[in-house]
Amino acid sequence: MRGAAQAMPDDPLTSNYDAIVVGSGATGGWAAKRLSEAGLNVALLEAGREVTSREFTEHKPQFQLKYRSFSGAGEWRKTRPIQTQCYACTEYNYDWFVNDLENPYSTPADKPFSWQRLRILGGRTLCWGRQSYRLSDLDLKAASFDGYGQDWPISYQDLAPFYDIVEDYVGISGASEGNPALPDGRFLPPMKMTCGEVHFRESMSKNFRRTVTIGRSAIITQDHNGRSACHYCGTCERGCTSYSYFSSPFTTVKDALNTGKCRLLTNAIVAQVEMDAATNRATGVTFVDGATRQTKTIRGKVVILCAQALESTRILMNSATGTHAGGLGNSSGLLGRGLMDHSTGAGASGELPQFQDAPDPYSGPHRANGIYVIRYRNTSKATKHPGFLRGYGFQGSAGAVFNQGAAGFGAAYKQAVKTGTYRISLGAFGESLARNENFVSIDPKLKDKWGIPALHISMTHGENERALHEDAAESAAEMLEAAGAKNIELRSTVAEPGMAIHELGTARMGLDRSSSVTDSYCQLHDVENVFAMDGACFVSSGCQNPTLTMMAITVRACDRLVDRFKKHEI
Amino acid sequence: MNRRELIRNSLLTIGAAATLHPSVEALVFPAGDNAWLELSRPDWKPVFLSAQQNELLISLSEALIPATDTPGAKAAFVNRFLDLLLSVLPSGAQQEFLSSLQWFDAGAQQRYKAGFASLSSEEANDFLSLVAWPHTEYRWGERDAEFDGHAHFEKVKSWVAAAYYSSPIGLQELGWDGWAARGIFEGCEHQPGEHQDAQ
């Protein structure tokens, strides 16, 4: 990767780059790719180290691990008490996740927030869930439909061409359904459903007129853009030897470096944006070299924050000056406000005894994907729910699974485990309303290992989320029962904020600078050469997994930026 | 060559190209660093359990998951892995496990006047049958009470099963054939509407 940067000067800090991109994950990778391919000189700063495919362990059997990733075992868990709340942080890959002791944040005692982070080249794209859904105008113009909050300053028509670009490059497998609540995209062939899922889809269509589709996933089902089709080993969160799921180090970042116009600096922990008070323009960023702990400054014409919603806002807040009290972009007083994370936790599960299939053998194909029930609440006057605003979608699956929980012992137990049980489950992802009382700020006392002031995160899910999830649990059970499920169990809890790992908002976009932080191209209203191109700019959350939209927004903003460079407006 | 073999071969090629090593790490067992080899050492000794507790665990785990036409818990070194695991767990979890483990020895002494490890297979099965299912005890003049043997059974069994089914032998029981590359997920191959009888 580094070879492509040979045309750059030896000391990366001597250049004045066209653009400094902070963060190398889903959006940072796109920003670096888009800008460098357009001919701009880019510095890409990543707080973590590089990663190579030699670290991938998706094929490593569990027994080769010392503690087989059993809960509670391993010294590493002591340094990652928060990260281990994420299913993907295991004995296989914990080193990709941050050390919680070195990267602290605070919360009110009664408002826990689980902030799960990776600091490594590619960030969370190494471990992400890969579910990729478009927002619709039902989401982008939600305030006009129900009166709550603000509309986005962009419509689906504005975003659609950029969804196309991202999907064409990333490779999203999925099926078109013609459901306006979840716009279709440019899909690779869909993964297959199990018999139980096909049955459930037919039952939902017949009994409820609801759409069940295969998960739209950033896992390629045919060779695509130099990457190989999925081989169905099923453990994507440990890396992928064939690069079959989208991960920025092996796609966008690689492309950017191949241009020879992009310089990658790893272990560069950005502390703040540097400002020129005379011109009210950013001149670069200051970062701590994670290896040497030296503080360094790098100069650029524009600064693009793609560090992850809360990290980008933290950098803006830590960049406060006399002119920009409370942080860059905070003239509205809204920087840090409106934190969202999809509400999760509710759903239902049961057995489908009418299916007798045996579980797929351990070495058989495993699909790292499931089914998706498209939102059906509050999509029109006819589906308006009296108890809550907005809606939810379900992710789930049905299939035969080994039954280690079988009763008894001895030979009969061994056979029962192998015979398995045919289960179906649904889990809701609900919209998280943007409420200004959910916020982040700088903790006045707490600093990270590198001396950078840490965040204080204050968020709870509200009554709307609670009512939404109660309905989701009831509705899930009703749908399972209609499909013939037995032994149904409900979950109506709302999980702790952060558990969806979809942090959004805190630097929302808008047309009116008094009620937003950035414009529709992610540019701060207050500083014309600083951008927040990640989940921070979200105005509302929808209920769909957000990464696809973040990438589309980034491409749109970068194309606009390139155009301005060409016109010498920057 | 079938499609699955084709995929496996192509993965080997991809993996070889993607790594600096001449062989592809962890595609085929055994390869790479491997904690199982440590557990399999002939000079293995427990680091947490006493000799008596270790023998008890071997006997109990084999009674729970016996050798049939496939190897059981003893061959899977369930005791060795649990010994290692217990050695690093918090003391509360350690004591909880040991308490359940010792309950079986005490129960065997009470019923058969011998430790569990000394029971014949018939006696062990007879004893486990008593505790394998939820049951309440009727005590003269008292309310029915949960028989605590079942709780101890469930606790030890869950640990033993987790250790067994994460071992090479346990994974083979579930269809692991030494390969990690899996093939194509075929899914449902029925025609539309063919599941209507499943309503």
Cα(A401)–Cα(A422) distance, integer angstroms: 6
Label residue B197 by pLDDT band (50, 70, 90): low
- Measured in whole angstroms, the distance separating CA A153 from the mean position of its chain's CA atoms is 22
| B5 vs A366: which has the higher pLDDT | A366
Q: Where are the alpha helices (DSSP H) in A325-409?
A: none
Q: Which residues of A touch B187 (CB under 8 A)?
A: 191-194, 367
Averaged confidence pLDDT in chain A: 96
Q: Within an 8 Å CB–CB cutoff, is residue B36 touching chain A?
A: yes
Q: Which helix (H) or strand (E) holds A453?
A: strand A453-458
Q: According to the model, what pLDDT value does residue A41 have?
A: 98
B122 touches chain A (CB under 8 A): no
Decide if A367 and B24 are in contact by the 8 Å CB cutoff: no
Average pLDDT value for residue range B79-108: 97
Q: Considering only CB atoms, which chain A residues are within 8 Å of B176?
A: 61, 361-363
Structure tokens at B150: 């079942």
Q: Is B16 on the interface with A (CB under 8 A)?
A: no
Q: DSSP label at A500?
A: T
- Comparing alpha-carbon positions, the chain A residue that sits nearest to B23 is A54
Tell if the CB–CB gap between B14 and A191 is shorter than 8 Å: no
Q: Which residues contact A476 (CB under 8 A, 6 or more apart)?
A: A346, A347, A348, A394, A426, A428, A490
Residues A225 and B108: their CA atoms lie apart, in Å, by 65
Please name the residues between 252 and 271 in chain A that touch chain B, using a CB distance below 8 Å.
none
Structural tokens at position B146: 């949960």
Tokens standing for B115? 């430790």
Judge whether B82 and B45 are in contact, CB under 8 Å: no
Look at residues A275, A248, A201 and name the one whose alpha carbon lies nearest to residue A25: A248
Interchain CB contact of A361 with B (< 8 Å)? yes
User: Is A272 buried (19+), middle (13-18) or exposed (0-12) by CB count in 10 A?
Assistant: buried
Q: Cβ contact (<8 Å) for B182 and A233?
A: yes
Within 70-109 of B, beta carbons closer than 8 Å to A belong to 70, 81, 84-85, 88-90, 93
B128 contacts chain A (CB < 8 A): yes
Q: Which residues of chain A have pLDDT under 70?
A: 1-9
Query: E strands along A189-314, which residues?
Result: 212-214, 262-265, 268-276, 281-289, 295-305
Average pLDDT over residues B94-118: 97
Q: How far apart are CA B197 and CA B178, in angstroms?
A: 38
Q: Which residues of A touch B29 (CB under 8 A)?
A: 61, 64
Are the beta carbons of A540 and A143 closer than 8 angstroms? yes
Nearest to A323 by CA among A295, A271, A286, A281: A281
Which distant-in-sequence residues (6+ apart) come within 8 Å of A449 by Cβ?
Answer: A102, A103
Judged by CB atoms closer than 8 Å, whether chains meet at A64 and B33 is answered as yes
Chain B neighbors of A194, CB-CB under 8 A: 187-188
Average pLDDT over residues B57-76: 98
pLDDT for position B19:
35
Interface size A-B, in CB pairs within 8 Å, comes to 181
Q: What 3-state class would DSSP assign to A273?
A: strand
Angle between helices B121-131 and B148-164 (to 10 degrees): 110
Residue B185 at interface with chain A, using a CB cutoff of 8 Å: yes
Closest chain B residue to the Cα of A355, Cα to Cα: B198
Measured CA to CA in angstroms, residue A391 lies from A133, A137, A349, A394, A431 at distances of: 15, 14, 20, 10, 6
Please give the residue of chain A at the shortest CA–CA distance from B62.
Answer: A410
Judged by a CB distance cut-off of 8 A, whether residue A354 touches chain B is: yes
Q: Across the interface, which of A63, A193, A231 has its CB nearest the CB of B181?
A: A231
pLDDT band for position B34 (cuts 50, 70, 90) = confident
Dihedral (CA of B13, B14, B17, B22) sign: negative
Do residue A362 and residue B174 have CB atoms under 8 angstroms apart? yes
Cα–Cα distances (Å) from B186 to A122, A362, A365, in that order, read 31, 15, 8
Say how many C-beta atoms besides its own lie within 10 A of residue B157's C-beta. Answer: 24
Cβ–Cβ of A361/B174 closer than 8 Å? yes
Query: Which residues of B fall within a CB distance of 8 Å from A367?
Result: 185, 187
Between residues 177 and 216 of chain A, which touch chain B (CB distance below 8 Å)?
191-195, 197-199, 202-203
Q: Are A228 and A188 in contact (CB under 8 A)?
A: no
What contacts B194, CB < 8 A, 6 or more positions away? none
What is the distance in angstroms between the Cα of A397 and the nearest Cα belonging to chain B?
12
**Per-residue pLDDT at B134 exceeds 90:** no
Nearest residue of chain A to residue B76 (CA atoms): A63
Return the closest-CA partner of residue A25 out of A47, A5, A41. Answer: A47
Long-range own/partner contacts, residues A8-14 (CB < 8 A, 24 or more apart)? A8/A260, A8/A263, A12/A43, A12/A263, A12/A265, A12/A298, A13/A296, A13/A297, A13/A298, A13/A299
Q: Answer yes or no: do B36 and A360 touch at CB < 8 A.
A: no
Q: Find the helix packing angle between B51-64 and B78-88, rounded to 10°.
A: 130
pLDDT confidence tier of residue B199, bands split at 50, 70 and 90? low
Among A61, A203, A414, select the one facing B65 at the smallest CB separation.
A414
Closest Cα partner for A545 from A393, A371, A440, A434? A393
Q: Are A148 and A162 in contact (CB under 8 A)?
A: no
Q: Does A411 touch chain B (CB under 8 A)?
A: yes
One-character DSSP codes across A130-186: -B-----HHHHTHHHHH--S---SS-HHHHHHHHHHHHHHH-EE------TTS----
Tens digits of residue pLDDT in A99-142: 999 999 999 999 999 999 999 999 999 999 999 999 999 999 99
**Does the CB of A416 have a partner CB in chain B at under 8 Å?**
no
Complex ipTM above 0.85?
Answer: yes
Burial A191-220 (b: 16+ CB within 10 A, else e): bbbbbbbbbbbbbbeeeeebbbbbbbbbbb
A66: nearest CA partner in chain B: B35
Query: Nearest CB to B26: which of A57, A364, A367?
Result: A57
Q: Which domains does chain A have, with CATH numbers?
A: 2-566 (3.50.50.60)
Which residues of A fall within a CB distance of 8 Å from B93? 72
Query: Can you give the pLDDT at residue B13?
Result: 45
Question: If we measure between CA atoms, which residue out of A215, A483, A244, A236 comes closest to residue A370?
Answer: A215
CB atoms within 10 A of CB B33: 12
Q: Which residue has the tokens 């818990």?
A: B73
Q: Which three-class secondary structure state does DSSP give residue A209?
A: coil
- Is the minimum CB–CB distance between A403 and chain B shorter than 8 Å? no
Q: Is the pLDDT of residue B198 over 60?
A: no
Name every chain B residue with its beta carbon within 8 A of the beta carbon of A192. 185-188
pLDDT of B20 > 60? The answer is no
Domain ranges of chain B: 1-32, 34-180
At B181, is the pLDDT very low, low, confident or very high (cuts 50, 70, 90)?
Answer: low
Q: Which of residues 362-401 of A touch B (CB under 8 A)?
A: 362-367
Of A65, A364, A402, the CB nearest to B183: A364
